[in-house]
């Protein structure tokens, strides 16, 4: 008999120092005005039934943190569709743990944001609710799969947006839309109530225009959850937090003495000049403030993208097998009397109509990768899935080898005195493409967008996409470029606070 998990104990801490930009009523009015064919298409459902604002000392409503929630995070008061027809009529009976924590802290949940179906996509165009437009240039894509969350933040429709990140689904849209986008260390934020894509890779992501607000939201959510089997235990959290805070104490208020690694493998041939300018600017800023720049190598990076798509697709093929049209979700009607009672036909008909082309493509790839049937030179399971798992282990080993801090999840954690504190690299290979360019792209171009973000996901380490000015600082460089490309700050597992400290130093101080 399975034991029921202990009841969720919510912290009683309050966070009065978080200063949201607007009241909920003003945000809801902005969301209403943005509806329509010319809008961003960021929200798929809106929560107009909010509790009344509490007057402050001066009689005006006291601003409370206003949150937009990606549509694959369960909410008991709003539909949760995961951007797919398969869940078009799904109303969860419970809410995710992270929503309970936010509501307890006094936050408002404004609504659910658009996304690529089941989190599968890099451009925000694979949704049953239509594509999401980039607020900085509506002719461009917003990125994916957390496209609606990034657009809501960049468009000034909320303070913070919750996304999910499997291989870059928070960092890529943050880069395209010019916002901060954090993928925390795997296991720090609860995944209870998140609709799964790939369980060993999925994390809750955070997007915001202001890093202090993003950091404060992270503190609210950074709690152990007994309902999530992948949640890091409290003793592990305390051990790594103590080491990270000691390093922050030694740094003081700046970054003097910080060792920053620049990985050579993160400048592939596909990288555009627009992606290098923000990186150079961020590195100049850090060096000017006393940080040491160190060239490093992560040799397994070249294999990471291929391994990621094998592993993520294989896990997706297992997770999405539950959408059969019987227990919940969309069910396609029988084509005729002859099909009634035929379970196999019913499953096939429902899944064919419910899943989009991108989801079908990845499910087929994942199912094949898990096939155990023996071929001439072994099974697909041996040749692809197991090999991808070996590559993932090599990627993790590469990160542990370059960081000075030990990985507390390693069986033999040891400090590396010649290692670096953090890594810096471009968040994307270029700015957000135009919608008109998508039809001209090769079918593999969309997958290449994740080449710089998937290694951190495979290793489970924290990564923050930071908006950095792309204005040229060298003679002969262009002063302005089209679109945005962020800079990613990557740290050792559990060193999220240090990652955010450096992100605050290097990030553009303008209004995002």
From the list 117, 127, 128, 145, the catalytic residue is 145
Query: For residue 459, which of 419, 421, 403 has the smallest C-alpha distance?
Result: 403
For the stretch 235-270, pLDDT in tens is 999 999 989 989 999 988 889 999 999 999 999 888
Size of the chain in residues = 512
Residue 145 designated active-site: yes
Residue 129 designated active-site: no
Average pLDDT, the chain: 90
On whether the CB atoms of residues 218 and 182 are closer than 8 A, the answer is yes
- pLDDT at res. 18: 47
Query: For residue 74, which of 105, 95, 99 has the smallest C-alpha distance?
Result: 95
Helix axes 387-402, 301-319, angle to 10 degrees: 130
Q: Quick one: average pLDDT of 331-346?
A: 77
Residue 469 designated active-site: no
For the stretch 123-179, pLDDT in tens is 999 999 999 999 999 999 999 999 999 999 999 999 999 999 999 999 999 999 999
To which H or E segment does residue 303 belong?
A: helix 301-319
Which pLDDT band, with edges at 50, 70 and 90, does 15 fall under? Answer: very low
Can you tell me whether residue 441 is helix, strand or coil? coil
On whether the CB atoms of residues 140 and 176 are closer than 8 A, the answer is yes
- pLDDT at res. 446: 86
16: pLDDT strictly greater than 70: no
Q: Which of 36-40, 189-193, 343-347, 436-440 has the highest mean pLDDT?
A: 189-193
307: pLDDT strictly greater than 50: yes
Report strand pairing: 422-426 vs 259-263.
Answer: parallel
Q: Quick one: average pLDDT of 60-83?
A: 92
Distance CA 447, CA 438 (A): 13
454: pLDDT strictly greater than 90: yes
- Tell which wins on pLDDT, 341 or 8: 341
- pLDDT at res. 1: 39
The tokens for 13 are 């801490």
343: pLDDT strictly greater than 50: yes
Report strand pairing: 463-466 vs 487-491.
Answer: antiparallel
From the list 149, 169, 190, 210, the catalytic residue is 169
For the stretch 416-437, pLDDT in tens is 889 999 999 999 999 999 999 9
- pLDDT at res. 91: 95
Distance CA 151, CA 430 (A): 18
Q: What angle do CA 395, 397, 401 make, to 5 degrees?
A: 120
For the stretch 42-59, pLDDT in tens is 999 999 988 777 666 666
Domain ranges within the chain, ordered by starting residue: 1-11+21-291+301-475+485-512
For the stretch 460-490, pLDDT in tens is 999 999 999 876 544 444 444 567 899 999 9
From the list 45, 70, 190, 427, the catalytic residue is 70
- pLDDT at res. 175: 97
Tell whether domain 1-11+21-291+301-475+485-512 is in CATH 3.90.1300.10.
yes
- pLDDT at res. 326: 86
């Amino acid at each position: 008999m399975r034991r029921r998990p202990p009841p969720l104990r919510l912290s009683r801490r309050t966070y009065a120092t978080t200063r949201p930009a607007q009241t909920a009523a003003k945000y809801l009015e902005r969301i209403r005005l943005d509806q329509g064919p010319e809008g961003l298409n960021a929200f798929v459902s809106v929560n107009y039934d909010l509790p009344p604002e509490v007057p402050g000392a001066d009689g005006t409503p006291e601003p409370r943190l206003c949150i937009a929630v990606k549509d694959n995070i369960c909410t008991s008061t709003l539909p949760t569709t995961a951007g797919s027809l398969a869940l078009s009529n799904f109303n969860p009976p419970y809410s995710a743990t992270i929503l309970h924590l936010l509501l307890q802290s006094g936050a408002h949940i404004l609504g659910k944001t658009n996304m690529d179906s089941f989190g599968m996509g890099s451009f925000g165009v694979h949704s049953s609710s239509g594509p999401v437009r980039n607020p900085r240039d509506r002719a461009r894509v917003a990125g994916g799969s957390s496209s609606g969350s990034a657009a809501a933040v960049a468009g000034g429709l909320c303070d913070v947006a919750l996304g999910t990140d499997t291989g870059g689904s928070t960092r890529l849209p943050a880069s395209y839309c010019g916002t901060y986008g954090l993928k925390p260390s795997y296991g720090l934020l609860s995944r209870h109530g998140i609709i799964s894509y790939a369980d060993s890779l999925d994390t809750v992501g955070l997007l915001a225009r202001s890093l202090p607000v993003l950091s404060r939201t992270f503190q609210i959510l950074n709690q152990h959850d007994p309902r999530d089997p992948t949640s890091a235990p409290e003793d592990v959290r305390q051990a790594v937090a103590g080491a990270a805070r000691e390093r922050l104490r030694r740094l003081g208020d700046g970054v003097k003495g910080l060792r920053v690694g620049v990985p050579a493998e993160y400048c592939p041939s596909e990288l555009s000049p627009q992606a290098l300018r923000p990186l150079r600017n961020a590195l100049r800023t850090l060096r000017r403030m006393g940080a040491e720049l160190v060239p490093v190598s992560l040799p397994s990076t070249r294999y990471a993208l291929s391994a990621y798509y094998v592993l993520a697709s294989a896990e997706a093929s297992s997770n999405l097998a539950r959408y059969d049209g019987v227990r919940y979700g969309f069910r396609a009607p029988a084509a005729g009397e002859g099909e009634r009672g035929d379970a196999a036909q019913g499953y096939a008909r429902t899944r064919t109509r419910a899943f989009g082309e991108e989801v079908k493509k990845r499910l087929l790839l994942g199912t094949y990768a898990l096939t155990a049937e023996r071929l001439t030179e072994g099974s697909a399971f041996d040749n692809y899935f197991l090999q991808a798992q070996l590559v993932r282990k090599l990627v993790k080993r590469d990160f542990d080898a370059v960081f000075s801090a030990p990985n507390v999840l390693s069986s033999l954690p040891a400090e590396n005195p010649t290692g670096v504190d953090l890594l810096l690299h471009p968040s994307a290979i270029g700015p957000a493409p135009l919608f008109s360019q998508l039809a001209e792209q090769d079918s593999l171009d969309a997958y290449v967008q994740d080449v710089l973000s998937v290694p951190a996901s495979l290793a489970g380490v924290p990564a923050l996409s930071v908006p950095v000015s792309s204005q040229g600082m060298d003679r002969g460089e262009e002063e302005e470029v089209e679109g945005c490309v962020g800079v990613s700050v990557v740290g050792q597992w559990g060193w999220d606070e240090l990652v955010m400290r450096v992100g605050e130093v290097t990030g553009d101080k303008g209004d995002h």
